[in-house]
Amino acid sequence: MLVNRKLILAHFWLAFAVFGIALTLGAWQMFIRSPIGTWLSNPELYYRSLTAHGTVMGYVFPTLVAMGFGYAISEAALQQRLVGVRWAWVGFWLIVAGSVMAVIPIALGRASVLYTFYPPLIGNVFYYLGVVLVVVGSWIWVALMSVNLRVWRRAHPGAPVPLAMFANVAGSYLWAWTAVGAALELLLQIIPVAAGLKSTIDAGLARVFFSWTLHAIVYFWLMPTYIAYYTIVPRAIGGRIYSDSMARISFILFLVVAMPIGMHHTFADPQVGAGFKFIHSAFTALVALPTLLTVFTICASVEIAARLRGGRGMFGWIRALPWDNPMMLALAFSFIMLGFGGAGGLINMSYQLDASIHNTQWITGHFHLIFGGAIVIMYFAIAYDLWPHLTGRELIDVRLIRTQLWLWFIGMIVTTFPWHWVGILGMPRRMAYFDFGDPAIAPQALSVTLSAIGGFILLASGIMFIVILARGMRTPKIDAGPYRFALAVHQPATVPVALNTHALWVALMIGLTLTNYGYPILNLALSSGTSVPAVYVGAQ
């Protein structure tokens, strides 16, 4: 039951429109700093582009996808009209306003601070206010998800919350809490300086606040993908979810352990004590658990589908899978990229190994593989799956869809594998150009060129994606039927309170944040002499 289709479509279209722009900037960045482009005479342009690309890809695009998908889940899984539609539109328009407000100073070169803000670098205040508006808009969504679940619960006392909605609300709570770190950094530290009320800033404290957001935000990006793994893929390929409880436990684990681990982004920072770095590192190791559970459960669910289709043997069933189904393809690609990306993540999370790849191109290669690859390819799949139900029209270009997914996968591998490699060789990230004429880095020219070619493949795939969706708005009308989520092998009749509500896990999430962040933040906030003069972008 999808009633507010316009609302959901608005979120998706805005998401994919800004994605298209940011993708083009990404391809340009790849090209311009590779040996096939000429050096930029003004490196500032690179940082302008990088700020826009990072801000859109990191904040605006995934947030809009999570919101649009969240509204769709709320209506389709709960079989209930969305409560608070007017508020949802307010949230949407806040995001539009915030994005415009942020992008103008970026385009003018007044906010080339990159999406990680990088204090004591300070840009135009409207950039930060724009980001705040985007976050506030998304918080409205968080509240609405919670309200809608509550309304449903009242009508269905004691009934198990549908898995998709349970996970969706978990993701929204995770986002609400993890965004607090960056919000504190912006409101207490950066915006007062950008507005001219102060001229110094505690950059070390700002980095700690940002790390509060920076890790769990990646699980917020990941949520729609994991929800699609569990609740769309098995249905789309004719299987069932292997275990409903396992799925719930995975989402619960994300809620608990995604938060207290962000300091693995500050391993190289002197202002954080080594003991806290160790605790965060140890908890980071735990966060592999829900992903391993998921990989196991989804493989089992897929096997069920294969065996239902007559698949036999230890591995023979793999051939019986519906490989021409875009959802199957997307899942396989996503898992492969998740596997490689996860292996790379093991290096990032270990205190010692991290030192050799810290701030190198390895990092950008890594998160493009996981985020741009494993996660975003499932965003595509979600859009393809939902589109007929949103537009009431069929997506007829199934071959084009498969080609698009193949190109995204190939493009991502071609882009990110050499990207990792040059990182290991020590090439720093966030550089506008490299002198490949120098014998010291001349051998890396080939790898960087390959990455740039991969970037163009990705651009082509991204354009195809948008074209497919746009064409899908004009095909003949069909009745797509009700939108359904996958069922479990044993669809639960009752679920224990702890696996049907979020309160316990939210409490643990907040508790662990206090234990793991409380002292480092207080220590920095209360010490004097830790602030440095702000450096204003483009100012005297």
Partner 1 sequence: MSTRDLFTLRNSHFRIGVGITAAILIVTAIAGFIVLPFAQPWVKFADVWDAICSAAGVPQRAAGVTAPEQGKRLSEVVLTSNTLARPSQEAIGRGATLAQRCAICHGPTGVSRADSPNLAGQYAAVIYKQLHDFRSGARTNAVMSPFAINLTDQEITDLSNYYAYLPRLPAYHPTPQLPKPNIVIYGAPMRGIAPCGACHGSLDNKTGSPWLEGQSEAYMKAQLHAFAAGERRNDISQQMRNIARAMTPQEIEAAAAYYASQPPDVVKAVD
Given the rule CB under 8 A, which residues bind partner 1?
39, 41-44, 158, 196, 199, 256, 271-279, 282-283, 286, 431, 433-435, 438, 440-441, 496-501, 503-505, 507-508, 511-512, 515, 519-520, 523, 527, 538-540
475 binds, among Cu ion, ligand HEM, partner 1, none (CB under 5 to 8 A by kind): none
CB of 406 to ligand HEM, least distance (A): 15
Backbone torsions φ then ψ of 478, nearest 5 degrees: -135, 170
What span, in angstroms and rounded, lies between the C-alpha atoms of 123 and 200?
14
Closest listed residue to residue 459, CA positions, set 60, 100, 29? 29
Interatomic CA distance for residues 140 and 344, integer angstroms: 35
Q: What gap in Å lies between CA 194 and CA 186, rounded to an integer? A: 10
Please identify, using beta-carbon distances, which residue of 300 and 446 lies nearer to partner 1.
446
Minimal distance, residue 361 CB to ligand HEM, in Å: 7
Tokens of 149: 């679940």
Query: Interface with ligand HEM by CB under 6 A: which range of 94-102, 151-159, 366-374, 515-523?
Result: 366-374
Do 498 and 506 meet the contact criterion of CB atoms below 8 Å apart? no
State which of residues 50, 96, 255, 395 lies at the interface with ligand HEM (CB under 6 A).
Answer: 50
Q: Which pairs count as long-range contacts for 305-314, CB under 8 Å and 24+ apart, including other chains?
A: 305/234, 305/237, 305/238, 305/239, 305/240, 306/239, 308/238, 308/239, 309/238
The answer to the question of residue 422 lying near ligand HEM (CB under 6 A) is no
Token pair 């806290």 is found at 276
- The Cα-based distances of 111 to 131, 317, 490, 534 in angstroms read 12, 54, 53, 14
As annotated, the active-site residues are 215, 219, 366-368, 429-430
CA separation for the pair 28, 424 (Å, rounded): 23
Shortest distance, position 133 Cβ to ligand HEM, whole Å? 19
Cβ distance to partner 1 smaller for residue 300 or 504: 504
Residue 274 contacts which entry, ligand HEM, Cu ion, partner 1, none (Cβ below 5-8 A, type-dependent): partner 1
| Residue from 18, 23, 102, 233 in contact with ligand HEM (CB under 6 A) | 23
**From 213, 360, 364, 449, residue interacting with ligand HEM (rule: CB under 6 A):** 364
**CB-CB neighbours of 428 under 10 Å:** 13
Instruction: Tell me the residue ranges of DSSP E strands in 148-203.
Output: 200-201
Give dist(CA 189, CA 209) in Å, integer.
10
Nearer to ligand HEM, 381 or 512 (CB): 381
CB of 302 to partner 1, least distance (A): 29
Q: Is 430 in the site for ligand HEM (CB under 6 A)?
A: yes
Could you tell me if 495 and 66 are in contact, meaning their C-beta atoms sit under 8 angstroms apart?
Answer: no
Comparison of 154 and 474: residue with beta carbon closer to partner 1? 154
- Quick one: which segment of 64-72, 77-85, 109-117, 257-265 binds ligand HEM (CB under 6 A)? 109-117
The reply to whether 420 sits near Cu ion by the rule CB under 5 A is no
Look up residue 408 and give its two tokens. 């995204």
Compute the least distance from the CB of residue 29 to ligand HEM, in Å: 4
277 touches Cu ion by CB under 5 A: no
Q: Which of 27, 182, 378, 512 binds ligand HEM (CB under 6 A)?
A: 27
Among 16, 18, 52, 53, binds ligand HEM (CB under 6 A): 53
Q: Which residue of 215, 277, 366, 393 would you call a contact of Cu ion, by CB under 5 A?
A: 215
Distance CA 387, CA 274 (A): 49
Three-state SS at 433: coil
Looking from the CA of 37 toward its CB, the CA atoms found within 13 Å total 20
For 400, how many CA atoms within 13 A lie in the half-sphere containing its CB?
16
Q: At its nearest, how many Å lie between partner 1 and the CB of residue 433?
A: 6
Among ligand HEM, Cu ion, partner 1, none, what does residue 215 contact (CB within 5–8 Å per kind)?
Cu ion
Q: Yes or no: say if 236 and 325 are a contact pair by the CB < 8 Å rule.
A: yes
User: Minimum CB separation from partner 1 for residue 321, in Å?
Assistant: 35
- Establish if 418 lies at the interface with ligand HEM (CB under 6 A): no
- Binding ligand HEM (rule: CB under 6 A), the pick from 12, 14, 16, 26 is 26
Q: Is 207 in the site for Cu ion (CB under 5 A)?
A: no
Residue 538 binding partner per list Cu ion, ligand HEM, partner 1, none, with a CB distance cut-off of 5 to 8 Å that depends on partner kind: partner 1
496: left (phi over 0), alpha (psi -120 to 50) or beta: beta
Q: How far is the CB of 59 from ligand HEM (least distance, A)?
A: 9
Helices (H), 258-397: 274-286, 288-308, 326-349, 351-357, 361-367, 376-391
Question: Which stretches of the chain bind ligand HEM, using CB under 6 A?
Answer: 23, 26-27, 29-30, 50, 53-54, 57-58, 114-116, 364, 368, 371-372, 376, 429-430, 455, 458-459
Question: Which stretches of the chain bind Cu ion, using CB under 5 A?
Answer: 215
